[in-house]
Amino acid sequence: MRRLIEQHEIQQRVHALGTEISNLYRGRDLTVIGALTGCMLFMADLVRAIDVPHRIGVVQASSYRGATTRPGELTVELGLLPDIRGRDVLILDDIFDTGNTMEKLVTALQSREPASVRTVALLVKEGKSEVEMKPDFFGFKIPDAFVVGYGLDYDDDYRHLPFIEALDEADL
């Protein structure tokens, strides 16, 4: 594996994102919606860095299953979603790869009549987007590599790593 982003770099960037998001949503009704399961570590740190009152919710969105490194059919489960009608919504995801997950989440949540919907991704994979949208906020741009750590996994492993690493072919 190759180390791409160190733990202290992640912590600094998440704190900066929290400040930026707090300034934007000060005095507004914010709900942060995380896309499970990869977002868990990022979400935990980011919601603590956002210093304005906010609600938290999660949705299940997945296109990678098992020991695959290529996205499959995207499934989205909104059963755990809190009421967002009239509230500002910030969708949080671990990685913006093709953009299909984020685009589908935005569309699904807009049907619930929020005041606004914005997006944040920890990582943006360069040169992979298949959609026109881009995250409103992001942590880091990364090369086209399969990455693990800080919540991202390969076959449900490596989520616990406090940094981001790229898997080499030999690791797969």
Give the sheet arrangement for strand 54-62, strand by strand. Answer: 75-77, 54-62, 30-36, 88-96, 116-125, 137-142
Whether 79 and 46 have beta carbons less than 8 Å apart is answered as: no
Distance of CA 11 to the CA centre of its chain: 15
Distance of CA 70 to the CA centre of its chain: 18
Catalytic residues: 97
For residue 122, CA distances in Å to 14, 78, 83 come to 8, 21, 25
Whether 10 and 150 have beta carbons less than 8 Å apart is answered as: yes
